[in-house]
Amino acid sequence: MNNTTPWWKRPLRVIQTNLQVLDTPRMDEARIAAQIEDLGANVLVVNVGGIYAWYPTSVPFHTVNPCLPKDRDLLQTLLSACHARGIRVVARFDFSKTSDRAYQSRPRWFARSADGAPQVVGALRPGNWDLLYTTCINSGYRNADVAAPVLREALSRYDLDGVFFNAPHAPNCHCETCKEKYLALYGEPLPESEKDWDPGWKSRCLYDNIAFLRKAIRQTRDVPVILYYGIASDNLYERLATCDMICAEPQDVLSLGWKEIPQSFKPALCIRLGRSEPSARPPFGIIHSCPGMDWRHVGLPPAEYLYWMSQVPANGGYIWHSITGIPDTIGDKRILECVKTINTEIRTVEGAMDGARSRAKLALLWDMHADDLSKAFGGQMSAPANGWAEALLSTQIPFDMLLPEQVLSGRLSRYRALILPTVPRDEALLAALEDFVEGGGRLIAECLQPLPERLARLLGLSCGGQMSEYLRASYLRFEPGAEFLRKGLGETPLLPHRGPTLYTDAVDAQVLCTLVPPFAPMEAVGAPPERASLPVEKTDIPLLTLRRAGEGCAAAVLFPLSALLSELKLRDHELLVRNLASELLGPALDVRLEPSVRGLQLMDYEAKDGSRLLHIVNGIGQRPLSDNLPLRVELSLRWQGEAPQVESLLCGAPEVKTLGEELRICTAPVATWEVLRLLPREKP
C-alpha cells in the first residue's frame, strides 16, 4: 500500500482514551503521544466536544471542560505531538447529553418520557457536577443549533483526522418534535408504548441526524466519519449510507454475573456482520478494557481480555481499544500490557490480512428482526441465528454472515450452502433461494412456522403445517439412511428434543430424523424407572428432511435446533449441525480440525498475494478465562499438487505432513491466537 492511500484505508490500531475531566491537569500531551505509540496504536480517539468541549469553544450551550489549562491549547498541543509521531487523531463527539443549564434555557431540545418528564442522567452522582439531561435526536441541540456549529468550529480550527460519534442512537423519546415526525413518516400517532413503535423508527431518526451532521462536516473539511452499527435491530445499510467506517462494541460485561455472561463468540459475530458488505472498509471492534461500566477503573482478567480482543483481527476487523483515562491515570497496568501484546501481534499479521477475503463457502442468513418467534413462545427461545452461529464456531466450520438484502443483490452465488434460521415470507427472497438450490446450491432451513407454498415445494414438504405445543421430555430418532448425521455420536439412536415442532408431511423429501413424543408429563419424568418406558417409541413425524434436486439440495429442520444449541449447549446437537453442514458442503469444506474442540475458532482467508491464511483463536476453558491454556491444534486440508510452504506468523514453526492429497498441520502451542500462512511453492 503506497503513501497516497488515505490513512483510514490502511490497517489501523486504535486507542480511545475516555478522558476524565478531573484528570485534565495530569495530561502531558507529548508524553501521551509517546505512550500511545509505545502501546502500538496508530490512531488516537480523543474527546473533543459534546458533553464537554476540550477546547475554548464559542458555540452557545457547549459546556467547556472547567479544568482546561489556561496557558496552552491542550487539544492543539496533543494533535501536534501525535502527528509528529505519525499517529492520526480522531475527534470523539457525544451530543447525547448536556448540562442542566442548557435544559433550563432550551427545554424543547430534550428527550421526554411518556409522562412528559425530562430524562436525567446521574442525578445521584456524588460530587459537585452538573446534572446531565438526555437530548432528543430530532431536536436543535443534536442538529442545527449546537451539534453542527460545534463540528464546523472544531474542524475549522484543528487539523483533526476524522470524526467519531459516541452514543449517537435515538433515545426513547415522547417529545412533541418526535410525535410530529412520527406522524409525518407513518401516518399515525406515536404509540405510547415503545414496543409498538415501528421497528424502523429509531434507525430512521439516526439516519436523518447523521446525514445532516455529515453534510456539515463535509462542508468544512473532508474527513472520514465513523459510526456505530448494531448486530440486532439495526439497519446496516442506513449506517453505511451516512459514514465512511463502521464500528461495533461487543462488550464483555462480566459484571452481569456468571449466569448472564456474554456469548463467547460475540466479537466474532459483530465483525463478520460488519464484513458482510464487501464494498465497505473492515469494521472496527471496540473492546472495553473493563468487566462492566460499574467497574470501569479495573481491567478484565488478562486471559479473558486477550481472547476477547483476538477475535477482532482474526475475524477481519480493526481493533479499537477503549480505556478509561490516559496511561498515567490507569491504575490497573494489566490493561496496558494486554493492549501492547495484542497490538504487537496485529502488527505482525496486518500486512498479510490487508485486503484478504473470506474463503468460506457457507453463509448464515442474519435477519435483524428475527426474534418474533421467541416472543411467540413466551421468550422461551433464543434468537434463531445465534444458535447456528455458536454451533458452527464450536465445530470450526468457516462461515460468513449475509443479510437478506445481500441475498437479493446476488451475493449468494459465491457460496455453496446457506443456513436459513427462520421462515421468510418475502416472495423475492424465496425466489432467490429457489434459484440458488436449482442452480446447485445447498440450503438448510429451520422451519418453525407454517410453510409458504414456494418454500414447501423447495423443501419437498406439504404446504402450511401445524405448530405443536411446547414439547418436553421428547426425542429425535435417526432413521435409516441418516448414518452421516451420526458421525462422532457413537451408538445412540436418540438425541434430546424440546420445543415447538412443525407437524408436516414429507412429499418429495427423505426423512432423516423423526419425533419420539414425550414419554411423560414434566411432573412425572423423575418417577420410578419402571414408569420411564416410551409409550410411543417411533413415529413417522419428520424432524429433519432432505430433498435432493439435481446438483442442489434442501434440508428442513422442523424443530428449534437453534434454541437447543443456545440454551443447552450439548455437544450432540453441535455435532448434528457439523455433520449436516459437512454433508451439504462436501468438497467445498476442505479444512477441518479432528477432533473438533469446543472453544476454538477457525477462520479461513485468501490474501491478495494468493496465499491462504488460517486463523485459530483459542478460548478453551470455563469463562471468564483465568488462564490461556496453550494447545497444539491439528488441522487436515485437502490439497492437490505440491504441498505448500506453511509458516506460522505468531506461535512458532508447525509440523507438516503430506498423506496423499491430505495436508496435516500440527501447530506449535497456541495460547490465544495463531495465524498460519500457506504459500504455494515457487516452481524452479
What does 588-642 look like in DSSP terms, one character per residue?
Answer: G--EEESS--TTEEEEEEE-TTS-EEEEEEE--SSSSPSS---B--EEEEE--SS
pLDDT of 85 strictly over 90: yes
pLDDT reported for residue 238: 93
* Mean pLDDT (whole number) for 5-10: 95
**Do residues 474 and 517 make contact, with C-beta atoms less than 8 angstroms apart?**
yes
pLDDT for 373: 43
Residue 507 pLDDT > 70: yes
Summarised one tens digit per residue, pLDDT across range 635-672 is 999 988 788 999 999 999 999 999 888 999 999 999 99
**pLDDT score, position 126:** 80
d(CA 547, CA 550): 10
CB-side exposure of 250: number of CA atoms within 13 Å?
27
Instruction: Kindly report the average pLDDT of the chain as a whole number.
Output: 94
**What are the pLDDT digits (tens) for 285-316?**
999 999 999 999 999 999 999 999 999 999 99
Q: From residue 53, how far is each of 114, 138, 190, 198, 217 by CA, in Å? A: 31, 22, 34, 35, 17
pLDDT tens digits, 570-601: 999 999 999 999 999 999 999 999 778 999 99
Q: What is the pLDDT of residue 600?
A: 97
Q: pLDDT by residue (tens digit) across 10-34?
A: 999 999 999 989 989 999 999 999 9
Lowest mean pLDDT among 52-56, 257-261, 347-351, 609-613: 257-261
According to DSSP, the residues that pair with 678 across neighbouring strands are 612, 646
Q: Give the mean pLDDT of 382-396.
A: 90
- According to the model, what pLDDT value does residue 368 have? 58
Per-domain boundaries in the chain: 7-94+137-356, 362-588, 592-679
Residue 112: pLDDT over 90: yes
- Cα dihedral 221→245→351→353 (10° resolution): -160
> pLDDT, tens digit, for every residue of 620-639?
999 999 999 999 999 999 98
Tens of pLDDT along 203-232?
Answer: 999 999 999 999 999 999 999 999 999 887
Instruction: Give helix 302-314 / helix 266-274 axis angle, nearest 10°.
Output: 20
**Dihedral, CA of residue 593, residue 599, residue 600 and residue 601, to nearest 10:** 120
What share of the chain in percent tops pLDDT 70? 97
Average of pLDDT values for 529-535?
85
Complete DSSP assignment for 78-106: HHHHHHHTT-EEEEEEE-SEEEHHHHHH-
- pLDDT, tens digit, 9 for 90 and up, residues 147-203: 999 999 999 999 999 999 999 999 999 999 999 999 999 999 999 999 999 999 999
341-370 pLDDT, tens per residue? 999 999 999 999 999 999 999 999 997 555
pLDDT for residue 417 is more than 70: yes
* Whole-model pTM over 0.75: yes
Region 419-446 average pLDDT: 95
| pLDDT given at position 460 | 97
Q: Which CATH number fits domain 592-679: 3.30.420.40, 1.10.4080.10, 3.40.50.720, 2.60.40.1180?
A: 2.60.40.1180
Quote the Cα angle for 297-299-27, to 5°: 50
Consecutive H or E run containing 583: helix 571-585
CATH: 3.40.50.300, 3.40.50.880, 3.40.830.10, 3.30.70.20. Which one for 362-588?
3.40.50.880
CB 144 within 8 Å of CB 106: no
Residue 375 has pLDDT above 50, yes or no: no
State the fold for domain 7-94+137-356: TIM Barrel (3.20.20)
pLDDT at position 232: 73
Alpha-carbon gap, residue 261 to 601, rounded angstroms: 19
* Cα-based angle 306, 8, 15 (whole degrees, multiple of 5): 35
Length of the chain: 684
Give the ranges where 170-297 is alpha helix by DSSP (H): 176-186, 201-220, 236-240, 266-274
- What sections of 131-282 are H helices per DSSP? 147-157, 176-186, 201-220, 236-240, 266-274
Q: What is the three-state SS of 452-497?
A: CHHHHHHHCECCECEECCCEEEEEEEECCCCHHHHCCCCCCCEEEE
